[in-house]
Structures are given as structure tokens and as C-alpha cells.
Amino acid sequence: MSKPNVPNAPLPNDVLPQITWMLSELLFRQEGVRLADWPEEWYKLEQYAAKVRGWLESQPRALIRLEEAVRQYPLHTVIYRRTLEALLDLRAPTPHFVSNAPPDRCPACKQLLNGYWDCSYCGLELENAYRHSQLRQASAQPISELPLFYLLLPDPARRRVLILNGEREVVWSLGKTLDAREPVSAVMHREHRLLLADRVDNRVGEFSLFGDCHWAFDTSLSRAHQLSAPVGITAYTPVDTAQELFLLVDRDHHRVLAVDRHSRIHWEYGIRGEAGKEPGQLSSPAYAEYTAEGTVLIADQGNGRVLEIQPEQNNLLVWSSEEYLALNGPCHAHRLLNGHTLIVDPAAWRVIEIDRGGQLLEECIYYHSGHDLGLKIDAPHLVVRLPNQHVVIADQTRVIEINLPAKALVWSALLSELKFSREQDLNQTLSPDEAQLIRMEKERSLQMGHFDLDTSLQRIKMFSDAPSGFYLSLRSYLTDQNFHAGETILREGEEGDTMYLIASGRVKVIRQGEPVATLQTGEIFGEMALIPRQPRSADVVAAEDCTVLKLTKLAFETVLQAYPVIRERIRQLAGAREGMRKLDAFYYAPERLHQVNSLLQAQQQRIADIKQQLDTSRQTSLLRHWHPDWRLLYNRTERHLIHQANRAHQHAYEIHVEVGPGHGGKPATALRIVENLSGLGELLRLWPTVDALEAGKWEQELVLALLTPESRDLVAESLHHLPEIRRIEIHSLFF
């Protein structure tokens, strides 16, 4: 069985405005025409965008031949589907929530939040209404308008600006087309324009994602407008006005100033051209930001201090770090959502967090004499705190990412090794070669493809090693059925007696209202209905028009009569499932859940008692490597308990337990795991919570923190006999 192989899935419904925007930006690049000057022409471009969408849904690129895109101005280029998809990802909005309660699941990792606004799985600080308001009142951050965990990374040595996704792959690059010699500061602004500071050309401005300058601060107006080695630019709107201002850091002129789009200077702090430490003076400032409180934080690097001023009150000095901290040369100071301040002091290779009173709360040393020299970043031009509480630091050579709550290095790379795989496509779009465009017109074709039915059936474990005649017999009993996009094929909770194989199209698997997988042509679902009936574990909905092949339980049992070996294998599998069902019924008793809950409550009371007695002196933590994909976040008291256990020659383990398909969400499974481990020591943490376990709101992973005198091998052995466990990871904890 075969079908035409459309190499690309349908584009989303909201893609037309994005294509229209892309065409308008390309028109500005080629002809210098701003579509805003002729709004009546926008409709014409929208009509053409619909054609481009159709082309890109059937082929990897679309040839653009518009002789009169706007008035008499032509547009000739090629748009690659991969480039458009990258733009769609970049322009995806960051989720924020206006309700008083957080969503059930984290929008980033899809794990259960259990009523918290901060995700204990990936560390994401979700934007509720209050946090969203704070972020909008403060000045723009480098990642303000980017999707979650994306990173905007200037690379001044190679005269480019990179955008990396959450997997730290380069998904966009402004290089050859960027009109800047040494970009050291970049902020993603509204309408996905980049605010860039070029410290060699001594200018700042606003650029498109294609590298074209849409606005620049006019340094020719007067001597006061001239800049020298600008290292920072961001945008904010003061609380008492609706006018947008740009906050500039004029490093070698030792000042910070606010300007508007007409290049008028509204205020400045520091005396132009004079370094000093007296009131109203700065020395080589490295960073400035406008806070939600209406103040401005300044990293006054040359003076080894951080200042907070009130520009609306004649630059009144609100706070200075000199009263509380000994800093060597801070390059960054950022106000956090909780009111604390994050400071990076590269001269001492440390990242610190202080409270509103200037008291030191946390400190992380990211380099010392025993570390890899690659971590020795003395003069960073970029510091960014990500929504998952990680901190990224980069200089002209290297970039590192630190999980600050865990004091752990999670990623590092040489900037020279970061490559954009689609750079050739983007360059062809931005600077099209006419001869190549002509060749492309002759190369349009539609590819064909198919799937192998027998290969798809062989992927089912209970069919493995079957003779070829078995598959031939199954084929004769298959029947086909068509479903329209959005139509439900299976419903969660219903009993089933049919297996399905996707002949064409795609389907979505949805469990408890949340999508968990997308299956495509050649994949199978519902196969467990061929052995003793159990309720369907998820909804299956057609993601697009699709055709499925069905095999009923009656037809399957008819085929099995001729294959006794396979019939016996199915019988054993059915017996194992029935035994597990009875075991679950034994374990799932309310009193057993209450026992686990009482155990955790007693431990929480112990933690509360220790917290009252805990010495408030801080502990400096050195940066270390952490290997699991994620870890729990521990509060200060829990870290103290772990530290005490280590000093008492006990072990502190974080245990990640993954169960096999069909066991996730079952309270009985979780109880067996918790009871086995709690007998070995003190249970410090459990994720998800007992309430979530009782409600079945967990999937396939449990995480526990255990303080125990037993060895890692003994802890693992206590779980290995449980048949539902598929994988165990045990990691030592040190604080």
C-alpha cells in the first residue's frame, strides 16, 4: 500500500501573517520599501502569501517572482520551508497565565505542577499575572521576546549574532547580512527586532532578523550624542509616561543615558568622558537595566560596585553595594522576580544573589585553580538569567550555562564551534542569485513514498520471530477505515477489542486531556486490546485526514489457531497482566497511602525544627558537574540536612525511578517503590506529592531523595525485584 509522500506536514493556520511579514521584511531589504508607508498594499501581499503557503506545503522551497510586489517595486527571492519554520519557532509567544491558579502542567516540560508556579522538574518560573506585569514594567532582557529557554548570543569575534534553542542548537544567525562590526550586546525587542550595541563602530540601533537597520541613535547631532565603546542597549517605558526610551551604556565615556527614537537625550548618569567615584560619577560601566520599581541598576565595573538610582528624582542614589559587599569588578546586576538581585563579579569568577537589604544569600564560584581553564571567563560581554533559573555567561571565546540552584555546569561551548546548519538557505533568501533562481524553476517535483506492512507488524513484541505465513494471514483479516481530522478513533476508559495500524496520515495520543504523542504512517496503536480486555489508556484523535487498518480480537484469535507457539506467548502475557492487576488492587488501599503521607509529614516536621535551629551563615558552593537530565530543587534547610548526612559518613541519594508503560499513574506502583526505599533510611523528598500520587497524576517517573547509611548497590537492589520498574538512576547529592 502506498500514498503520495508529501515531504512536509501542513503548515499551521496562523502561518499567513508570518509569511506576509517575511515578504515585507525581504522587500524592505531588497528595495528599501516600508510596507507601513502603503498600508493598502498589505492585502495584496497577504493574497500572495496564501500561494506561498500552498507551495511550501508540497515542496521544500518556494520561488518568489513578484514583478510588482508593492507599486513598481519587485521582489525576487526563494523562501525555504525550514527557514519559515525556524521563524515560526522564534516568533512563538511565551506563555503567561492570568488566572489565580497555575496550570496543571508545566508548559515547558509538561510535568505536573501540583499547585506551584515554579516547576520542580525543569526549574521554570511561570509567568502569572503579577510576574507578567513586573516583566513588562522592567526593561527588556536579551530573551524577552524569545520562546522558553531560547538564547540570544552575540559573537563579536565573528561579527555575528546567534539564536539557540533549548537544546542549544543554532536556529538563526545574523552574520554576513548584519551591518555591525563587533556586536557585544543584543536584546530581542518588540516585533522581533534586535537592539544591538556595536562597540567598534560606536553605534546602537534596532535591526530586523535579517540584519537590516530600522533605527539608529544619531551620534552626529552634537558632541553629547557621540558614543565611545557602547556595550549595552535595552528599552523600557517609564511608569509615569507612555513614551518608550532606550537605555544605553556608554562605557568609555563613563555614563549611562536614556534616549528616545528621535535621538533626544532624556537623562544621563555619569560625567561624559570623566571617570570617578564621587556622587554622580561612574567608571567604565558594564551594564544597566530599568527595574519594575522605576529604578535603574548599574554595574559600575571600574569602581567595583553596583548602584541603584532613581532617574525620575534627579538620579537620586537609592542603594550602593559598597555598604554591604566587597566586589572586584561586577559586570552585571539583574533584579529578580522575588525582589532579590543577581550580580556577576567575573574578577572573582562568582555569581551571587542578595536580598533587598543587600545581604548575601547565595554564592557560586564558577572557576577556581582546580577547574578547567575553559571556565575561566574574566571579561564576559553577555550574562543572561533564563526562566529556568540557569545563568549563561559568555566572552569572545566561550559560553557556559550554569544551573544556579544546583551549582552545576550544564553546558559549555566554544563560540567558533557553533554552526548554523541552514545558513546557506538563509543567505540564498537574503541575497538571491538570479542564475540559481532560474535553475530552481526547473527542479520542482513531488516525491513518492510508502510503508512496509509486514515491517510495521514485526515491531509488535508479541509478534516477533513469527513465521512469514503468520503476517500473511493477518493481512487477510485487516480492514480499512477513514477518519477526518479531529475525529476520535479511541476513547480513554472504553473497553476495546481492536488493534489499529496507520496506513496514511497522523494521529494524536491524548491522556487525561494532555497530548503525549503523535503517531505517523506505519505506526500501530491499541495492540494490547488483542489480549484480555482492559480499558483504553488514552484518547486517539486523527490529527489530519487519515486511513487506518483494523484487526479485531476475533480475527486475531482465528489466526492464532494455526500458530500454537504465538498463542502460548499471548496466554503467558495475559496471565502476567491479570496477576499485576490483582497485585495493584491489594496495594491500592487508602490506609497505605495515609501511612506514606504520615511518614513524609514527620520528616517535614523534622525539617521545620532544624530550620529554626539552623545557623544562618552562608556556605559558598563551587561549580560542579551534574549528570542526570534534571534534578529536584532543594531549599536551604534540605541542603543543610544533606550536608550533615555527608559529614556523618552517610549517603544522600536522589533516585530517579522510571516504570514501564501501563504502570504510570497507578498509586499501587508508587506505594511499592516508596515503601521499599523508606525502609532504608530517611525519605527527604518525594516527587510528585502524595496527593498527586493518590489522584493518579503522575506518568512514568518518580523521584525520591533518601538519606541512608546503605550503599548505592543495596538501594538499587531493593527496587530491582519489582517487575514494573524499567530504569533506575541513583545520583549522589553534595552541598
Q: Please check whether residue 422 lies inside any domain of the structure.
A: no
User: Do 315 and 252 sit in the same domain of this protein?
Assistant: yes
Q: Please check whether residue 410 lies inside any domain of the structure.
A: yes
Distance between CA atoms of 568 and 566, rounded to whole angstroms? Answer: 5
State the average pLDDT for the chain: 82
Question: For 240-273, what is each residue's pLDDT tens digit?
Answer: 778 999 999 999 999 999 999 999 999 999 999 9
- Report helix, strand or coil for 368: coil
pLDDT at 111: 83
- Count CA within 13 A, CB hemisphere, residue 343: 34
The distance from CA 368 to its chain's CA centroid, rounded to whole angstroms, is 30
Phi/psi of residue 300, nearest 5 degrees: -85, 80
User: Do 186 and 62 sit in the same domain of this protein?
Assistant: no
Give the β-pairing of 332-335 and 341-345: antiparallel
User: Residue 654's closest CA among 690, 617, 621, 629?
Assistant: 629
pLDDT at 188: 92
User: Do 98 and 156 sit in the same domain of this protein?
Assistant: no
Count CB neighbours of 657 within 10 A. Answer: 24
Mean pLDDT of 619-639: 63
Say if residues 188 and 142 touch (Cβ distance below 8 Å): yes
Least confident range from 360-374, 480-494, 634-648: namely: 634-648
Residue 130, all three cell numbers:
503579577
Final residue of a structural domain among 104, 128, 152 = 128
Question: For 157-205, what is each residue's pLDDT tens digit?
Answer: 999 999 999 899 999 998 877 878 899 999 999 888 999 999 999 999 9
User: Do 475 and 575 sit in the same domain of this protein?
Assistant: yes
- CA angle, corner 155, sides to 153 and 159, nearest 5? 130
Residue 629 — very low, low, confident or very high, per pLDDT cuts 50/70/90? low
pLDDT at 6: 38
Count CB neighbours of 434 within 10 A. Answer: 7
Q: Please check whether residue 235 lies inside any domain of the structure.
A: yes
Say if residues 257 and 250 touch (Cβ distance below 8 Å): yes
User: Do 665 and 720 sit in the same domain of this protein?
Assistant: yes
- Give 11's DSSP letter: P
Say if residues 632 and 705 touch (Cβ distance below 8 Å): yes
Residue 13, all three cell numbers:
493556520
Distance between CA atoms of 644 and 684, rounded to whole angstroms? Answer: 13
Residue corresponding to grid cell 509567568: 127
For the chain, give the percent of residues with pLDDT over 90: 29
pLDDT at 88: 86
Question: For 125-159, what is each residue's pLDDT tens digit?
Answer: 998 888 888 888 999 999 988 998 899 999 999 99
Q: How far is CA 258 from CA 191, 250, 268, 383, in A?
A: 21, 11, 6, 21
Instruction: Give me the CATH number covering residue 66.
Output: 3.90.640.10
Least confident range from 24-33, 274-283, 603-612: namely: 603-612
- CA angle, corner 197, sides to 410 and 306, nearest 5? 65
Q: Please check whether residue 424 lies inside any domain of the structure.
A: no
Instruction: Give me the CATH number covering residue 299.
Output: 2.120.10.30
Say if residues 129 and 98 touch (Cβ distance below 8 Å): yes
Asked if residue 311 has a cis previous peptide bond (ω within 30° of 0), the answer is no
* Kind plus residue range of the DSSP H or E element containing 43: helix 42-56
Please say if the pLDDT value at position 696 is more than 80. Answer: no
Instruction: Give me the CATH number covering residue 719.
Output: 3.30.70.1110
pLDDT at 185: 94
For residue 527, what are the domain limits? 451-583
User: Do 156 and 170 sit in the same domain of this protein?
Assistant: yes
Task: Return the HEC string of 620-657.
Answer: CEECEECCCCCCCCCCHHHHHHHHHHHHCCCEEEEEEE
Say if residues 714 and 699 touch (Cβ distance below 8 Å): no
User: Do 382 and 266 sit in the same domain of this protein?
Assistant: yes
Higher pLDDT, residue 83 or 300: 300
pLDDT at 438: 64
User: Residue 477's closest CA among 564, 566, 549?
Assistant: 549
Classify residue 89 by burial, with Cβ atoms within 10 Å: 0-12, 13-18, 19+. middle
pLDDT at 494: 86
User: Do 119 and 167 sit in the same domain of this protein?
Assistant: no
pLDDT at 264: 96
pLDDT at 613: 58
Question: For 301-342, what is each residue's pLDDT tens digit?
Answer: 999 999 999 998 888 888 888 878 889 999 999 999 999 999
Please report how the helices 564-587 and 553-560 are oriented relative to each other, as an axis angle in degrees rounded to 10: 130
Q: Please check whether residue 409 lies inside any domain of the structure.
A: yes
Task: Round the CA-based radius of gyration of the chain to a whole number and report it.
Answer: 30
Instruction: Give me the CATH number covering residue 504.
Output: 2.60.120.10
Please say if the pLDDT value at position 415 is more than 90. Answer: yes
Count CB neighbours of 26 within 10 A. Answer: 22
Residue corresponding to grid cell 507601513: 36
User: Residue 94's closest CA among 120, 118, 126, 121?
Assistant: 126
Tabulate helix, strand, coil % of the chain (nearest 5). 30, 30, 40
User: Do 467 and 539 sit in the same domain of this protein?
Assistant: yes
The β-bridge partners of 258 are 247, 267
User: Do 437 and 472 sit in the same domain of this protein?
Assistant: no
- Report helix, strand or coil for 75: strand
Please say if the pLDDT value at position 467 is more than 90. Answer: no
The terminus-to-terminus CA distance of the chain in angstroms comes to 59
pLDDT at 596: 61
Q: Please check whether residue 446 lies inside any domain of the structure.
A: no
- Count CA within 13 A, CB hemisphere, residue 32: 0
pLDDT at 447: 30
pLDDT at 335: 96
Structural domain count, the chain: 5
Final residue of a structural domain among 566, 583, 600 = 583
Give the β-pairing of 296-300 and 305-310: antiparallel
Say if residues 120 and 687 touch (Cβ distance below 8 Å): yes
Q: How far is CA 541 from CA 46, 388, 433, in A?
A: 32, 32, 45
User: Do 544 and 399 sit in the same domain of this protein?
Assistant: no
pLDDT at 588: 46
pLDDT at 141: 93
User: Do 411 and 434 sit in the same domain of this protein?
Assistant: no
Please give the sequence-ordered ranges of beta strands (E in DSSP) within 142-251, or none if there are none: 151-155, 160-164, 170-174, 183-188, 194-198, 203-207, 213-216, 230-236, 245-250
Q: What letter represents residue 492's amino acid?
A: E
Query: Count of residues for the chain?
Result: 735
pLDDT at 600: 61
- Report helix, strand or coil for 711: coil
Question: For 553-575, what is each residue's pLDDT tens digit?
Answer: 888 888 888 888 877 777 776 66
Distance between CA atoms of 392 and 152, rounded to whole angstroms? Answer: 10
Count CB neighbours of 505 within 10 A. Answer: 20
Say if residues 269 and 290 touch (Cβ distance below 8 Å): no
Least confident range from 386-390, 540-544, 638-642: namely: 638-642
